[in-house]
Chain A
Amino acid sequence: MPCADDAQRIAAEARRALDICNACRFCDGYCAVFPALKSRRSMSVEDLTFLSNLCHNCRSCYHACQYAPPHAFDLNLPKSLSLVRQQSYRDHVWPPLLRGRVPHAGWSAVAAMAAVVLSAVALVVVPALLWVPPETLFARQSGPGAFYRLVPWKIIAGVAGGAMLWSLIAIGFSVASFWRGMGPAPAGVPLLPALRDALSDAATLRNLGGGGAGCNDRDDGFSQARRRFHHALFYGVALCFASTGVATVYDHLLGWPAPYPPASLPVLFGSLGGVGMVIGTAGLALLKLRADPAPVAASLTGADCALLALLFLVAASGLGLMALRETAAMGPLLLVHLGLVLGWFATLPYSKSLHAPFRFAALLRAAMERRGRGRG
């Protein structure tokens, strides 16, 4: 757990780096961080919070940096901002009681996530083993309502929904705290156009475009791989939620209980989304492992990979369930999949997942500033 001294050291280092960047400005065309930097003469704590979350960690600025090591200035902006960003997750955790107590870096973060996810899996599997007769649990199930004969829908919806609700509330409070943490928003800027800009930036990951050719995923060569893998993951997750949403409508409004045939919308969305998540998580993890280690904050790699691994397992278990749902493996797979999903929902406000709402908030703030400067 970083102590106050660490926090001050990390902030001082980021401030030193940004002051040099502000005097140089060669990287202006890479991403939104540099134009946002331009309007700031000195870096407050609020500015660091904002800019560190606006940074997409593409590392183009590191490979283009005339002051990167072995230069005497030893400038490493992506690494410096990664460390500040990780602190902002810690500082804005909700409830406040948990502030400084949730590990976001190092092996403790990996261990905490593994513990929560394993507990969630156990929470689903153990009662099922106790209450569902083994001949039902390991039987070949098929036909309408097969899933719910193992775990009643009300329990699935209640437990997962409860965890999700808690997480959404926690994330909401975290984002509100983070928004205030970026300092006062520019006054007199209409929100809707800025929101449109931010949505477009998030949906296209414009800031991973490096001004056209992509970014330095692995070394000083440019590629779009990271952007594409992240798209696969993000839109994969979105499709999986769409699948769940459609299934809920089918079940409760139209009275068609799951499982659904292969050509149905929930299965199509779910399969496509699951495949996207598997490709996205595997690709991102591979890029991470092969990346030039110099501009990376090594202490954060574990937590990043832990989230990727969890999402991979969620997707892979879902796809396995799809493929083997007519066999005796359906029961155990369903329990594991539900447990993993529950674990993911439970860790949303306390893991690297926070980067998504924080990044979006920073993009929105940047868009508001751009519009405030009259440069739509």
Chain B
Amino acid sequence: MTRVSCDCDVLVVGGGNAALCAAIAARRAGAAVLLLEAAPKSLRGGNARHSRNMRVMHDAPTPWVRGCYPADDYRADLQRVAGAAATSADGGLARRFIDASADILDWLAGNGVRFHRGTDDVLPYSRKTAFFLGGGKALVNALYATAEALGVVVRYDSAVRALHLRDGPPAVTVGDAGIAIRAGALVVASGGFQADPGWLRRQWGGAAGAVTVRGTPHATGVPLKALLEEGADPVGAADRCHVVAVDGRAPPFDGGIVTRLDGLPHGIVVDRDGRRFADEGAVVGPSRYTAWGELVAHCPGAVAFSVFDSAIAGRFRPSIFPAIQADSVGGLASALGIGPPALESTVAAFNAAVAGGGATAGIHPPKTRLAAPVTVPPFGAYPVRAGVTSTCLGVRVDGLARVLRPDGTAIDGVHAAGIIMAPNILGTGYLAGSAMTIGAVFGRIAGREAAAHALR
């Protein structure tokens, strides 16, 4: 290993939203900053590339968010999804996060990010979140442009292989050449480990092979693993992740938002043996994507099929992939690799059970809403798989984004921001738009604190 002394005060590991906010904040605090992005330039930005909004506290309408979303409402929403994480020992951190979310949009706007006006009627109404104009990649482009204009040195194709935190200032090993870079302080903002199939398999067994990763292929969790090995206190859970239901034909990485399947509550959903396994009408709101992701992840082979007829097909947004179609239920079953008698009997039993009021009677599991018979050919289906957004294992941090050991002491000069510490706030839950806010808020704090540490 060659050891190169680098003229940098703050070293940022990662290239997404949290990393960029940290780099900009550190640079604005006067530090010389080097940012190491594992991806090539064309795929920079981590999962932020696929994001679209940020959940922020506000007591009055702002240019970007209508109505108001008081801190108490935000905390209640967090408690609902995160449970203990937001209420117990880390409650103070959640409170600090919510307070800091109030001016994060102004700070981002001051760093070149553009948002939809709150009065735009092109997007779903939200009093809780602000939408990025052009989406997450536009945010990423703006933050890179600002960081580089401020003098942050950005290196692409620079995957970090190891962290060295034991003696002296923190250092990292980068790339295949094994170049070591030493810095005054370190910000680790490298996301989860969902793109490491080996790690996923150790946690989930065979189901790991059947999932798709909705975001960057560079979230391999190497820096996360290194932090844990260096004694960081783990938070969240290694065997949990955020999933949504996606079309089974989605690409293995970076499918983003468009591969989500919209229509699951409208038809019936069967497993690979042709059997229904859940109440399709149980969740029809925005959380239906997550609910079905979890359900499908636990199916045999972690695969299921959304089945509908041509009447039902008109009631939901079609997948970007064409429906698999057949003129009979048996033909459809064959096309899906399901035994035709199994699917035929499931559909027949379901159709016979459809009663008035959009619900079924006398069938298990029932369908409690949107129940309609599957009778009008051609019949259609989409394969469904679980698409992983991110894993739920992280490192414990304090209010200054310093990485903590189990005894509560901070690892000297090491900070974390983004998904790698999001379980401090979210536990193993998920709240739409909050992950991006966690990245920006803690990225900003981590950058500022790392600069202060390096320049003291």
Contacts and interface: CB of A to CB of B under 8 A. Distances in A.
Contacts of A221: 145
A63 interface: yes
Given A26-B52, A375-B121, A211 B114 contact: yes
Nearest to B139: A64
B122 A60 contact: no
Top 8 nearest A-B pairs (CB, nearest first) are A26-B135, A64-B134, A23-B258, A28-B122, A64-B138, A72-B251, A220-B141, A29-B133
Contact of A64 (B42, B141, B260, B318): B141
Contacts of A26: 52, 132, 134-138, 257
Interface in A53-92: 60-61, 63-67, 69-73
Contacts of A211: 114, 116, 133-134
Given A30-B134, A66-B49, 4 more contacts: A23-B320, A66-B135, A66-B136, A211-B116
24 contacts: A22-B317, A26-B132, A26-B134, A26-B135, A26-B137, A29-B120, A29-B131, A29-B133, A29-B134, A38-B122, A41-B317, A42-B318, A63-B138, A64-B138, A66-B49, A66-B136, A66-B137, A67-B258, A72-B254, A211-B114, A211-B134, A212-B114, A213-B114, A221-B145
Contacts of A34: 122
A35 interface: yes
Interface in A181-204: none
B254 A71 contact: yes
Contacts of B429: none
A20 B260 CA distance: 11
Contact of A70 (B42, B145, B318): B42
A212 B251 CA distance: 34
A65 B137 contact: yes
Interface string A201-217: 00000000001110000
B123 interface: yes
Contacts of A66: 49-50, 135-137, 254, 256
Contacts of B318: 19, 41-42
A204 B138 CA distance: 24
A240 B333 CA distance: 69
Q: Which of A26, A30, A70, A221 has the most CB of B within 10 A?
A: A26
Contacts of A329: none
A24 B122 contact: no
Interface string B137-152: 1100100010000000
Interface string B17-54: 00000000000000000000000001100000110100
Contacts of A27: 134-135
Nearest to B50: A66
Contacts of A60: 134
Contacts of A42: 318
Interface of A: 19-20, 22-30, 34-35, 38, 41-42, 60-61, 63-67, 69-73, 211-213, 220-221, 375
B105 to A, nearest CB: 15
A338 B136 CA distance: 52
B135 A64 contact: yes
A281 B307 CA distance: 56
Contacts of A71: 43, 254
A221 B114 CA distance: 13
Nearest to A65: B137
A366 to B, nearest CB: 13
A67 to B, nearest CB: 7
A11 to B, nearest CB: 16
B317 to A, nearest CB: 7
A65 B50 CA distance: 9
A64 B137 contact: yes
Nearest to B123: A28
Nearest to B258: A23
Contacts of A213: 114
A29 B254 CA distance: 23
A70 B251 CA distance: 13
B238 to A, nearest CB: 28
Nearest to A42: B318
A211 B257 CA distance: 22
B313 to A, nearest CB: 11
A61 B134 CA distance: 7
A220 B256 CA distance: 21
Interface in B159-218: none
B137 A70 contact: no
Given A66-B136, A66-B254, A211-B133, A29 B116 contact: yes
A27 B123 CA distance: 10
B112 to A, nearest CB: 9
Nearest to B45: A66
A42 B319 CA distance: 11
Contacts of A22: 317
Nearest to B256: A66
Give the residue among B42, B43, B133, B318 with the most A Cβ atoms within 10 A: B133
A70 B254 CA distance: 11
Nearest to A75: B258
Interface in B252-276: 254, 256-258, 260
A19 B133 CA distance: 20
Chain B CB within 10 Å, residue with most, of A60, A61, A67: A67
Contact of B145 (A25, A41, A220): A220
B203 to A, nearest CB: 26
A362 B124 CA distance: 26
Contacts of B317: 22-23, 41
B258 A20 contact: yes
Contact of A35 (B114, B122, B135): B122
Contact of A67 (B52, B136, B256): B256
Contacts of B145: 220-221
Contacts of B131: 29
B257 A24 contact: yes
B135 A24 contact: yes
A25 B254 CA distance: 16
Contacts of A61: 134
A69 B43 CA distance: 9
A34 B131 CA distance: 15
Contacts of A73: 251
A72 B133 CA distance: 24
A167 B132 CA distance: 45
B197 to A, nearest CB: 18
Residue from B121, B131, B132, B256 whose CB has the most chain A CB atoms within 10 Å: B256
A69 B145 CA distance: 20
B314 to A, nearest CB: 8
Contacts of B136: 26, 66
B257 A23 contact: yes
Given A35-B122, A70-B43, A213-B114, A19 B52 contact: no
A302 B43 CA distance: 31
A24 B258 contact: yes
A375 B121 CA distance: 9
A19 B134 contact: no
